[in-house]
Every structure is written in C-alpha cells, then in structure tokens.
Amino acid sequence: MGFKRTLKRDKRKFNKMLKTAVIDENPTFVTFLALCPTLGVTNNVANAIGMGISVIFVLAMSNVLVSSISRWVPDEIRIPVYITIIATLVTVLEMVMETYMPNLYTSLGIFLPLIVVNCIILGRAESFASQNKVKDSLFDGITVGIAFSLSLILLATFREILGTGGIAMLNIQIFSSENSMELFVQSTGAFLAFGILAWIISDLRMKQAKKAKKRRA
C-alpha cells in the first residue's frame, strides 16, 4: 500500500516538474541556455533526437551522482568534482556511441564532446542536484533533459522542413527539395530559425501573462 502511494506521489511530482521544465523554465527558449549545441545539431530531426537522448542520459546520471556525493564534497572543490564527473560521463557516452552508433557519432561530431561544457548540465548540478535528494535530482535531470530535447526537435523540424522540404528520418516529403531554402540547414539558418521561434514563443508567453493578469484583476 505504502509503495503504491509513494509511486503515485512520485508520478504527480514528476508531471509537475516536467511541466515546469518544458513550459515555464524551458532551458532553450526561456532561459536561453546551451545555445551552442542547439544551433549546431538541429539541421535535421535525427541529430536533434540523438543529441536530446545523449543530454538526457548525461544530465540524469550527473544529477544522481552529484546529489549522492554532495554530502561529502566540500564547497571549495565542488566545481572541479562536478566537471570531472560530467567529463567522465560524456567520454564514456562518446566511446560507446562511436562503437555502437557510428552514424550518429559522425553526424553529431564536435557537439558530442562539447556536452561537457553544456551549461544546462553544470547549471542543474550546481543549482538543483547539490541541494536536493537523489530521487528528486533524477527527476530533475530527466525532465530538464526532455525539455531540452523537445526544444531541439521543434527547432530541427522547423529547419529541416524549410531547408530540405521534408523530414528524412520519417520519410516525409512535403514539397520538392528543389524548392526548399537550403539556407535553413546551414548555420546562418540556425540563427534565423532560432530567432523566429524564440520570437513566436516569447510573444505567446507575454500574451498569456497579460491574460492571466487581467483575469486576476
């Protein structure tokens, strides 16, 4: 009975954290963290999903490790300890991916090792995992990772459809690739697409905030 109740409470907590991470504190479109990989790997949806899963893995593991050892790590050396842990996780992930998923490894390129300095990961370790329990930190890692992945997938879908006329991973071709704007799969297009999406999203958020204010008044 007790186990079931805890499970239910955990589920509710997880959903609440997921909503906060995806909508209220979206790492990409609201707090503008980790923009380097966001702009770099979103030229197609397959890359975005690969990067998203890698970040979920590293973020969840680093949060769990950081929160479980934070009791014994003195404040003075906590940053080097976190960086060592994150770098180890990323190196392991890189070697495993190179061995078992070589295509994804090649297309993620330099952005895979750069997960080490992804500011979302260090940020969550420092601001959440070091002060919270292991289970909450695991939830935080997974939810923030999911939010990051969703943002990447959104941006990549937008860019890939405009840039190539379809989504190669799902075998969808909406219009001919000859009529597409190749600019959008190149790095210039990343900035343009990100700017447009960030504009739309912050506009929606502002409207919603205004509505909520009016309702309260």
Partner 1 sequence: MFKNIFKFSSLLFLIVVICVTIVTVVFEITTPILQEREIAAVSNSIDIIYPDNQAVNKLDRELADDEPIKEVYEVTLSNDDLAYAYKTSYIGKNGEVVSVIGISNPGVIDGIEYINFGETPGIGDVVTKDPFMSQFVSKGTDEVNIDLVSGATYSSTAVKKSVEASALDFNENYREA
Binding residues vs partner 1 (CB under 8 A):
43, 72-74, 76-77, 80-81, 84-85, 87-88, 91-92, 95-96, 98-99, 102, 106-107, 109-110, 182, 185-186
- Helices 187-216 and 134-164: crossing angle, nearest 10°? 120
Cα 135 to Cα 132: distance, rounded to the nearest angstrom: 8
- Residue 72 CB, nearest distance to partner 1 (Å)? 8
- Residue 101 CB, nearest distance to partner 1 (Å)? 12
- Residue 44 CB, nearest distance to partner 1 (Å)? 9
- Residue 105 one-letter amino acid: Y
**Residue closer to partner 1 (CB basis): 3 or 72:** 72
Coil, strand, or helix at residue 173? strand
Q: Which residue has the tokens 């890698």?
A: 54
**Residue closer to partner 1 (CB basis): 106 or 173:** 106
Give the C-alpha distances (Å, rounded to integers) separating 96 from 8, 37, 148, 195: 35, 20, 22, 34
**Residue closer to partner 1 (CB basis): 26 or 42:** 42
- Residue 168 CB, nearest distance to partner 1 (Å)? 10
**Residue closer to partner 1 (CB basis): 21 or 48:** 48
**Residue closer to partner 1 (CB basis): 79 or 174:** 79
Cα 150 to Cα 28: distance, rounded to the nearest angstrom: 10
CB atoms < 10 A from the CB of 91, how many? 14
- Residue 143 CB, nearest distance to partner 1 (Å)? 26
Coil, strand, or helix at residue 167? strand
